[in-house]
């Protein structure tokens, strides 16, 4: 049995997100990216990216370091400006506006309005060290959403329960493991009631033993129908959970498709080379006559 098959065994497998399989092809894209280009100085990091993400779809973005994966995600969250192309969130142009027939940079207020339904979780947890787990989740609810203290506390407590940390509300970050801190960060993002969640390598800063608890939370979000774009090196997670896998290389989408097609029928040479860096070549590519498709 090959490596992907092992990761997708019945004891560990997780069904794709709730309604994506049935509805993704008919739904208007929640996120639409057209000919996206981004340059840092003389280096063009994104070189004409086209991508659609349907409502309730889980898209895993893989690729080598420096290929533009995180930059793409940051453009979707308006944390980076882009130089060319369109990013539309629920049909609305992000980052720019049309005025008098010309395209101009949108005001910060306009940007915030368009991205109000986008949540993001980073590699680093970025928790306030002087606030408890509950306080960290409440902060944006109080300052950005301007909820009452009681309502913010109620919602924050519910989100901590969602990520399995209802018993850690009074704990400070220094007393939490890395996995617990990342789950608090996920709860903080979920508390804002986003329509889409962006994850930028959320397990890369964790000890291997703590990765699973974060991935389990993300799997549950997928089952609940949350739209997700996930930059990850966790190939097992991508194989089990993604509706679509996108392979980015040198600033372009080189391959995109269903996990089975990307991982088992990787005809594109650069993709094959990339995958061979993660799996033993014989175990990954050799399939016996009794092997069933893993996905």
Query: Tens digits of per-residue pLDDT, 123-161?
Result: 999 999 999 999 999 999 999 999 999 999 999 999 999
pLDDT tens-digit readout, 181-214: 999 999 999 999 999 999 999 999 899 899 999 9
Query: Which residues of the chain are in CATH 3.40.50.300 domains?
Result: 3-117+196-285
Q: What is the pLDDT of residue 266?
A: 79
Q: What is the pLDDT of residue 2?
A: 42
Q: What is the pLDDT of residue 279?
A: 73
Q: How confident is the model at residue 285 (pLDDT cuts 50, 70, 90)?
A: very low
> What is the reported pTM?
0.85
Q: What is the pLDDT of residue 9?
A: 36
Whether the CB-CB separation of 130 and 149 falls below 8 Å is answered with: no
Q: What is the pLDDT of residue 101?
A: 86
**183/125 Cα distance (integer angstroms):** 9
pLDDT beyond 70 at 291: no
**5/256 Cα distance (integer angstroms):** 20
CA 44 to chain centroid, in Å, comes to 23
Residue with tokens 């997780």: 14
**218/210 Cα distance (integer angstroms):** 14
SS3 258: coil
Token readout for 286 is 């050799």
Token readout for 62 is 């893989």
CATH architecture label of 3-117+196-285 = 3-Layer(aba) Sandwich (3.40)
Q: What is the pLDDT of residue 295?
A: 40
**254/274 Cα distance (integer angstroms):** 12
Task: Report which of 68, 62, 110, 69 is spatially closest to residue 89, judged by C-alpha positions.
Answer: 110
Using alpha carbons only, give the angle 278, 124, 140 rounded to the nearest 5 degrees: 140
């Amino acid at each position: 049995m090959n490596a992907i098959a092992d990761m997708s065994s019945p004891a560990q497998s997780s069904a794709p997100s709730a309604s994506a399989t049935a509805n993704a092809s008919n739904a208007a894209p929640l996120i639409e990216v057209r000919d996206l280009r981004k340059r840092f100085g003389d280096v063009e990091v994104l070189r004409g990216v086209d991508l659609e993400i349907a409502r309730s779809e889980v898209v895993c973005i893989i690729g080598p370091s420096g290929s533009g994966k995180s930059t793409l995600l940051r453009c979707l969250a308006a944390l980076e400006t882009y130089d060319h192309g369109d990013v539309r969130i629920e049909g609305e142009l992000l980052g720019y506006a049309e005025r008098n027939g010309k395209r101009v940079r949108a005001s910060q207020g306009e940007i915030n309005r368009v991205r109000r339904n986008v949540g993001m979780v980073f590699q680093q947890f970025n928790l306030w060290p002087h606030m408890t787990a509950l306080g960290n989740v409440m902060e944006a609810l109080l300052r950005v959403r301007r909820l009452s203290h009681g309502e913010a506390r109620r919602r924050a407590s519910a989100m901590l329960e969602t990520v399995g940390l209802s018993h850690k509300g009074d704990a400070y970050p220094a007393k939490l493991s890395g996995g617990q801190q990342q789950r608090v960060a996920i709860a903080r993002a979920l508390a804002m009631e986003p329509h889409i969640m962006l994850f930028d390598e959320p397990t890369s800063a964790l000890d291997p033993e703590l990765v699973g608890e974060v991935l389990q939370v993300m799997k549950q979000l997928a089952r609940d129908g949350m739209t997700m774009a996930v930059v990850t090196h966790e190939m097992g997670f991508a194989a089990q959970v993604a509706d679509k896998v996108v392979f980015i290389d040198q600033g372009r989408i080189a391959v995109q498709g269903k996990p089975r097609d990307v991982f088992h029928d990787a005809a594109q040479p650069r993709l094959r080379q990339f995958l061979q860096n993660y799996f033993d070549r014989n175990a990954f590519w050799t399939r016996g006559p009794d092997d069933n498709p893993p996905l």
